[in-house]
Amino acid sequence: MALYLVESSLNSIVATKEELHQKTQELQRELQKKNAALVELQVSKDYSRAFFIVEADGQSTATGALREKDIPVQLVKEVRLVGKDLEEVKKNNEAVNYLVEWNIPDHLTMDDYLARKKQNSVHYQEVPEVTFSRTYVCEDLTKCLCFYDAPDEAAVKRAREAVKTPIDNITEILTD
């Protein structure tokens, strides 16, 4: 089984947290039928961006279940989880409220990326009001998604500066 990032937009599909919860439950049931699972779903506050992490035996399984539930697929990439254990993420007991996207430079290999992350992560302590949670790195090294719990966007930007990693996009995500 592999992990897949599936990006979508839900703003024409759901308008409330209740509708999102119902659509998520429907999707989870559909994925279970295919021996797959929704690991997590993070959605922007305006529902315009949705980031599904699906555990499945193939890309078509991951995207097929979404399409069957009328959820458009805008991007799909196989990803690697960094910073947390998969079983821990599946428990869904950690609060995150910001998602940072970084388009990885062409010259960086996965080994380079992981070494850089390990070396720079100690600098998160310089911004104690921000908690780094986890990263999903696209296996093709095109981009990564980093999840944070922070008081505001400015704090996330300070944390990224501390670890010497740019931001290509930052999204405030819906919380319970």
Summarised one tens digit per residue, pLDDT across range 146-162 is 999 999 999 999 999 99
Q: For the chain, what is the radius of gyration of the CA atoms?
A: 16
Average pLDDT, the chain: 92
- CA 176 to chain CA centroid, Å, is 16
CA–CA separation, 134 and 147 (whole Å): 5
Cβ contacts of 102 within 8 Å, gap of 6 or more:
143, 144, 146, 165, 166, 167, 168
**Token digits of residue 153:** 């966007």
Domain ranges of the chain: 2-79, 98-172
The CATH homologous superfamily to which domain 98-172 belongs is ORF SCO4226, nickel-binding ferredoxin-like monomer (3.30.70.3090)
CATH number for the domain running over 2-79: 3.30.70.100
H helices of 8-152, in order, are: 17-33, 59-68, 86-90, 110-120
pLDDT in tens, the chain (176 residues): 999 999 999 988 998 999 999 999 999 999 999 999 999 999 999 999 999 999 999 999 999 999 999 999 999 999 999 988 898 888 877 889 999 999 988 888 888 888 888 888 888 899 999 999 999 999 999 999 999 999 999 999 999 999 999 999 999 999 87
| SS3 letters across 5-24 | EEEECCCCCCCCHHHHHHHH
CA–CA separation, 80 and 158 (whole Å): 25
Give yes or no on whether 2-79 and 98-172 have one common fold. yes
| pTM value surpassing 0.85 | yes
What pLDDT was estimated at residue 105? 87
